[in-house]
Structure 1
Amino acid sequence: MAPPKPTAAAMADPSPWRSPAQRGRDRALKREAVLKAAARLFNEKGFHATSLDDVARQLNVTKPTLYHYFRSKDDVLFECCRMGLEMIEAAAATVPGSQASGLERLRALMEQYAEAMTMDFGMSISRTPDTALSPENRAELRRLKAQIDRALRGVIQSGIEDGSIAPCDVRTAAFAIAGALNAIAHWYKPDGPLAPAEIARQTADFLIQGLAPRTSERRQPKR
């Protein structure tokens, strides 16, 4: 039997225009490329020393092109920081559940938090003060930071309650941990001797030593 003849629609030339779904994907990819280039420049040169012209040159596009994706440099910085905070918030949401001790859950969170601070978006949170943002964006960023602080305090409190973390002031402990982890963004270098995962492990080790319960032997003074 002869094969069916192709229909007129099948024989027509394909449309040179991309579908709405394809255009949406293209826009998302280009928007992310702008953020990645901007975050890298902000971290290297500083927010105030970086212009949107610098970002455009990095991407081989014109400055007006960037305004198709963001209203201002302030919005670009806000989105960079927001994505960094979302990485940390996602880490808090994926720490081991109730079968793990509070200390084990805290270690998992600290290691993922530390690794986020070696990435461009994570660095943006720490290297650029939120005072560089507009009041509206600054308020939203501080709200997101507060959510992470609450998650961190919750894990510490659960460790105190199950005995895996020594009794301490939860607020002070959370601030100390966050401060130490955020500082990684200031001294980490991609070409340094340690990989991000090793930096995260060692930092968690140092911090855990200060939180783990003391044994009676360790509390007794040496004679």
Structure 2
Amino acid sequence: MGQADTAELDEVTGTKRFKAKRNAILAAASEAINEQSAKGMTFADVARRVGLNTTSVTYYFKRKEDLAQACFEHTLETLGEMLDTAQMEATPEARVARYLSLNMERFARIRENEERALATLSDLRAMEDPMLGRLMAAWREIFRKTRALWGEEPQNRRLKDLFGARAHVLLENTFWIPAWIARYDLDQFDRVEARLMDMFRHGIAVPGAKWEPAILDIEHEEAEPGREAFLRAATRLINELGYRGASVQRIASELNVTKGSFYHHLDAKDDLVIECYKRSFDTITETIQVGENSSGDWWHRLSSIIATLLDVQFSERGPLLRTTALTGLPRHVRQAMLDRSNRIARRYAGMLSDGAAEGSVRPVDALIVSQSLMALQNAAFDMRKWASAMPRDRAVAMYASTLAFGMFDDRAAES
């Protein structure tokens, strides 16, 4: 072997070593972001997870923001690759099934420690320009690719809106799976995938069921005037910018009050997030209670609950706090919030089971589908702009149709 060959081999070996170490840092940073948020992630913590010193990490990434950006870019690239693979299938149904399957395979590899979890995108909007602009452009391309699973962009505006709703619900469902998949053994993953795909194909309503919900009355007087507006503004900003991105100063500015006014309502920022969650969970629970006690079959009651909560998300009286804001909260607080979320999911599961026994709801896996309903109502906040371009009742019906009647019946665009 000549000197040129040896030099080339050293370069290849060095490049592989560099890539391997860089990938290990990205994996550790993604883990830290998922636990602490992008702003909470530190070089020291990432270095500890990889077994390096902080200086070694800065050799690969000069600034913490560069590392966070690389993590988000890796997530977006991975999603794009999965969508490109799914797009090769012949029909919309086959493409969605393939995309779901690729996600479940990835979750299985994570369970077996063959792969590390991707950085969640909840903190993406808290990044600063010019990074933010590039990341948001990449995210819009992911959304476009997901929407294209249903075919080329239609000329019919309603059909385009419907495809957009389906794309969003599909993405959010796959993003939410890690929150509950730990309850299932690895050998049950195929069954989970099959039950999710059954819901995506056929929905939860029985054939011939109509979408005729009632918007439930959950309005009541405020115990403390001004507090509701304060929590609403805080919820909106936390949803948009993440827990660490929504500063106390920014929330106060949004309401045109002083920073000191914040502390009139709450003692610390963690208290604010907890109160925002409590307000949201109380709203959901109250809506479910009113719906459960209303008249009609279980399909009518369940559809009325879904419609009311989507109406809240799309209106000025919303929004509900997204579960993405959990990132960055103390672990015990985060767990308490997830526990309450799961209790609400179990109420949905009970209604689905009662509806199936009655015959007004399709027999589905109630525990799995209830988590999809949680993802639906949780993610609707991001579709406010989409919803504002049409009458509210149409936006609610179209968005809800994705799980109510399935993702492949284009009659939903005619409603």
Q: TM-score, normalised by structure 2?
A: 0.40
The answer to whether structure 1 residue 106 and structure 2 residue 106 are counterparts is no
SS for the counterpart of 1:71 is coil
Partners of 2:326 and 2:313 lie apart in 1 by: 16
> 1:151 deviation in Å?
1.3
> 1:92 deviation in Å?
0.5
- Aligned counterpart, 1:67: 263
Which digits, 9 at most, give the CA deviation of each residue in 1:32-89, with x for residues without a partner?
Answer: 3432332232234333222112222333433233222211112112211221221111
The 1:139–1:114 alpha-carbon spacing in structure 2 relative to 1, beyond 3 Å, is: same
Partners of 2:352 and 2:287 lie apart in 1 by: 15
Aligned residue type for 1:172: I
Q: Is the 8 A contact 1:153 1:174 kept in 2?
A: yes
Partners of 2:331 and 2:267 lie apart in 1 by: 15
Which digits, 9 at most, give the CA deviation of each residue in 1:115-163, with x for residues without a partner?
Answer: 2333578545226331232234323322321221121111100111011
The answer to whether structure 1 residue 157 and structure 2 residue 353 are counterparts is yes
- Aligned counterpart, 1:138: 334
The range that moved more, 112-121 or 98-107, is: 112-121
The answer to whether structure 1 residue 49 and structure 2 residue 227 are counterparts is no
- Aligned counterpart, 1:116: 312
Unaligned 5+ runs, structure 1: 1-24, 211-223
Return the match for 1:29 from 216, 221, 225.
Answer: 225
Unaligned 5+ runs, structure 2: 1-220, 407-415
Return the match for 2:390 from 194, 200, 203.
Answer: 194
Q: Is the 8 A contact 2:235 2:321 kept in 1?
A: no
Return the match for 1:89 from 285, 295, 307.
Answer: 285
Q: Is the 8 A contact 1:87 1:116 kept in 2?
A: no
What count of residue pairs does the alignment treat as equivalent? 186
Q: Is the 8 A contact 1:80 1:121 kept in 2?
A: no
Q: TM-score, normalised by structure 1?
A: 0.70
The 1:122–1:148 alpha-carbon spacing in structure 2 relative to 1, beyond 3 Å, is: farther
Larger gyration radius, structure 1 or structure 2? 1
Q: Is the 8 A contact 1:42 1:124 kept in 2?
A: no
- Aligned counterpart, 1:209: 405
Aligned residue type for 2:228: E
The 1:100–1:175 alpha-carbon spacing in structure 2 relative to 1, beyond 3 Å, is: same
> 1:190 deviation in Å?
7.7
Partners of 1:26 and 1:187 lie apart in 2 by: 27
